[in-house]
Amino acid sequence: MSPLLQGVITIFVGVFGCVGYFYAANLVLDKVIFPPRGPHAGRNINRATAVRPWLFLFPAIFALSLYLVYPVIGSLWRSMHNRAGDEFIALDNYLFLFEDPEFLQALFNNALWALVVPAAATFLGLLVAQLTDRLSWGNIAKSLIFMPMAISFVGASLIWKFVYAGDPDIGIINALRDGIGLDPMDPVQVPFWNNFFLMAILVWIQTGFAMVILSAALRGIPEETVEAAIIDGANPFQLFFKIKVPQIMGTIVVVWTTITILVLKVFDIVYTMTGGNFGTQILPSYMMSFMFRDDGRATAVAVVIMIVVLPVMIWNIRQAQKEMR
Amino acid sequence: MDNIAGKSSGLKWAVNISVALLVIAWLIPTVGLFVSSFRDRDQITASGWWNAPFSVELTYRTRANDGEPVQEGDLWVVEGNIFATSEVSEAFASGEAAVTAFGVTGREPTAYPAGTEGETRDGGTLTVNADGSYRYTTAETPDDRGLRIYFGADTPPDFTMDNYLTILTAQTEEEREEAYAAGQTFWEILSDENGVFRNFINTFTVTIPSTVIPILIAAFAAYALAWMDFPGRGLLIAAIVGLLVVPLQLALVPLLNLHNQIGIGQSFVGIWLAHTGFGLPLAIYLLRNYMVGLPRDIIESAKVDGATDFQIFTKIILPLSFPALASFAIFQFLWTWNDLLVAKVFLPSDDASKVMTVRIADDLLGSRGGDWGILAAAAFVSIAVPVLVFFTMQRYLVRGLLAGSVK
């Protein structure tokens, strides 16, 4: 059977299965288990109301626990076993990691990514958002800067591989270097700085995201505060840094953390550009080097990534709870 | 507010110019690869894409075999036009090229400028003019194959869809022509197992169910979390916010093992389930946030009129939530279309089951590493769909981003 046909069937089965489940479960609940008639009509209605939320939630809770909660525990458990998975070795995998120079390199690079990319993307996004704010063609400019968001990390890597290509007749960077009389170089192989050339790709993608959110936040600033500042004689820079930025600080933090989480998970760029060579290894691509080879070590790396993300997660939950109150 | 004090016209100019520069900087990488995807392979290596509209000097080699040798006194003379010789006549069919230089050895293919006289290895002379006409004189009887001539010619820009056809069908131009000659239709050629078109279809196969199914599951759950009262609701919402940021990497090994145990293994079913699971937290979060904001009056009056929760959900909430459903659908579509990691782990690793991203990253970048025309075409086949979705549905995408900027 062709996968396409299989896909169409799956959509039908999935969609009708879901609708069917919700409809049938609801019907059974109302008509069969707790019918709203007879001697216990009132009690039955109350009971049906108490059960119904769980009926609606069941598929989601089931899928979430199987695909996200179970793996957290499963990975933790698996990471304490050896390669074959039949022997409990406690923390040996982790000890191995912390003695492996490549892991330490990946950890260091990851920290670098987590510092530089969110900062650069948020800063550039804020800059573009402010500059385009009152521009007649601002929306077109924003659309174009936002566009890389739609491009896959693999596609983006290919696009930038072309920019960085070593031949001055192909890569525009080396064409510029050639133009001012410098020798061609491969930016991806320059020790240490190549990390930043890879980060540029993610910044290129994420600036649009930061820009969209911050642009909306800038529009949400009450006009009165801006007008008052202008009447008091603030120049455009003071207006921006002392009046506008403090008012959207909350949004800036959200954008910053969102990009940080993304940075910690992205493996595609390093995988496509260098495969982790030339000192550009990061944790997610380091994990892929063990995937399908040594599940114990692969899961150990995954757990380390989880631990790194954990503070952001807790902070997110706190924020969400604050909003709900 | 444009004419406020302190905002001089000079500053306005500065703003316009800096935005223009930023936009150009943002576009250059994409434009470069896009232009290259339409260029002829030899032209890509000969000149940068920024020179694409101009002619390029390419080096060719051929044999002076289009004219009959004529004896003039002691010497043999061969005259003809280099563009008409059999080895290169196809490349110059349009007839706009000009010879810039020529030579007689492969080591120095452009030793003599056009119009001057060069010395051949057998002691004769060779003159090639800019218009391609040549004159070769030698004391010895020329052999039938003709004199080997190298020349550089300014070739007009050559834009072609050839790269796209080659990558989609995995067949070169000649192979495609042979297949046509053998009676195959375009569709049959396109369905070649090794072609990227197959991977393109696979990507749709992965993406569409992975987008549709989580929406349904999430919509019901979001309604329950937004409008139904039950103990533990706050806790569940907090859990979903927490799950939003669980790194995918954690899920790979345990789930693949699970899939293998229950017999799904690496398959499309497996990846649909995986994408559904991974997409749910964002779906529930986005939809719940939107549904909570719907006016309470409508829902309560429906309840007073005797509507059940199920009816309220399908008849009122679902139609009203369309913008949120659309924005999640776009997110999930872009995410699953662009995903590399999940597809690498949950799909079989043979070429016929790969999606576009995996095919490009694992296969083409290795085997076609330097062939930029091909790589660029492949990249744009994969980029075209999400960019199209992006530009047509941007409104919903932005709304979704603003509502749930957590993932």
Could you tell me if residue A211 is inside a domain? Answer: yes
A66 and A130 housed in the same domain: no
Q: What pLDDT score was predicted for residue B3? A: 45
Could you tell me if residue A83 is inside a domain? Answer: no
Contact B379 A301 (CB under 8 A): no
A148 and A224 housed in the same domain: yes
Contact A56 B220 (CB under 8 A): yes
A194 touches chain B (CB under 8 A): no
A247-268: b (≥16 Cβ within 10 Å) or e: ebeebbebbebbbbbbbbbbbb
Q: Closest Cα of chain B to A157: distance in Å?
A: 9
A62 and A133 housed in the same domain: no
A271 touches chain B (CB under 8 A): yes
A309, B223, B242, B400 from B285: Cα distances, Å: 19, 11, 11, 11
Residue B265, SS3?
Answer: coil
Q: Closest Cα of chain B to A189: distance in Å?
A: 16
A244 and A180 housed in the same domain: yes
Whether residue B2 has pLDDT greater than 50: no
Contact B6 A148 (CB under 8 A): no
Nearest to B256 by CA among A292, A62, A289, A304: A292
- The per-residue pLDDT for range B187-232, each reduced to its tens digit, is 777 777 778 888 888 888 889 888 988 998 899 899 889 888 888 8
A51 and A142 housed in the same domain: no
Residue B176 forms beta bridges with which residues? none
**B6, B208, B240: residue with CB nearest A11:** B208
Contact B45 A7 (CB under 8 A): no
Q: Closest Cα of chain B to A216: distance in Å?
A: 8
Could you tell me if residue A85 is inside a domain? Answer: no
A186: CATH: 1.10.3720.10
Contact A63 B310 (CB under 8 A): no
Number of independent structural domains in chain A: 2
CATH code assigned to B196-403: 1.10.3720.10
Contact B19 A213 (CB under 8 A): no
Query: CB under 8 Å to A281, separation ≥6 — which residues?
Result: A102, A105, A106, A109, A270
Could you tell me if residue A113 is inside a domain? Answer: yes
pLDDT tier at B128, thresholds 50, 70, 90? confident
A143 and A240 housed in the same domain: yes
A21 touches chain B (CB under 8 A): no
Which tokens is A297 given?
A: 């070590």
pLDDT tier at B7, thresholds 50, 70, 90? low
Q: What pLDDT score was predicted for residue A28? A: 85
**A67, A131, A159: residue with CB nearest B277:** A67
Question: What residue in B sits closest to A252 (Cα-Cα)?
Answer: B405
B34 or B9, which is more confident: B34
Q: What pLDDT score was predicted for residue A97? A: 87
A11, A133, A315, B31, B117 from B1: Cα distances, Å: 52, 11, 38, 35, 73
**B257, B391, B401: residue with CB nearest A212:** B401
pLDDT tens for chain A, residues 1 to 325: 566 677 678 778 877 887 888 888 888 887 777 777 777 777 777 887 788 888 888 888 998 998 888 888 888 888 888 887 777 887 888 888 888 889 999 999 999 999 999 999 999 999 999 988 888 888 889 889 989 988 999 999 999 988 888 788 888 888 888 888 888 888 888 888 889 999 999 999 999 989 988 988 888 888 898 899 989 888 888 888 888 899 888 888 888 888 888 888 888 899 988 888 888 899 988 988 888 888 888 999 999 998 888 888 888 888 777 777 6
Could you tell me if residue A254 is inside a domain? Answer: yes
Chain A (108-167) residues lying within 8 Å, Cβ to Cβ, of chain B: 127-128, 131-132, 134-135, 138, 141, 143-155, 157-160, 162-163, 165, 167
A209 touches chain B (CB under 8 A): yes
Question: Which ipTM did the prediction report?
Answer: 0.87
Contacts of B375 in chain A (CB under 8 A): 158, 162
- The per-residue pLDDT for range B340-394, each reduced to its tens digit, is 989 988 988 888 888 889 988 888 887 776 788 888 888 998 899 999 998 888 8
Contact B253 A295 (CB under 8 A): yes
A227 and A142 housed in the same domain: yes
What type of residue sits at position A104? L
- The per-residue pLDDT for range A170-194, each reduced to its tens digit, is 888 888 888 888 888 888 888 888 8
Choose, out of B36, B167, B245, the residue to mutate when testing the contact with A (most A CBs < 10 Å): B245
Contact B253 A78 (CB under 8 A): yes
A253 and A176 housed in the same domain: yes
Q: What pLDDT score was predicted for residue A2? A: 64
Domain of A58?
Answer: 3-78
- The per-residue pLDDT for range A205-222, each reduced to its tens digit, is 999 989 988 988 888 888
Could you tell me if residue A86 is inside a domain? Answer: no
If you average pLDDT over residues B314-343, what whole number do you get? Answer: 89
Could you tell me if residue A27 is inside a domain? Answer: yes
**Where a domain ends, among A78, A108, A126?**
A78
The residue behind tokens 């009509």 is: A41
A133 and A189 housed in the same domain: yes
* Helix A295-324 and helix A92-99, axial crossing angle in degrees, nearest 10: 90
Q: What pLDDT score was predicted for residue A124? A: 94
**Where a domain ends, among A32, A48, A78?**
A78
Q: Please state the domain extents for chain B.
A: 9-51, 56-155, 196-403
Put the strands of the sheet holding B70-72 in their side by side order: B70-72, B75-81, B133-138, B125-128, B117-119
Q: What pLDDT score was predicted for residue B406? A: 40
- Alpha-carbon distance B327 to B403, whole Å? 10
Could you tell me if residue A60 is inside a domain? Answer: yes
- The per-residue pLDDT for range B262-312, each reduced to its tens digit, is 888 888 888 988 999 999 998 998 888 888 888 888 888 988 888 887 888
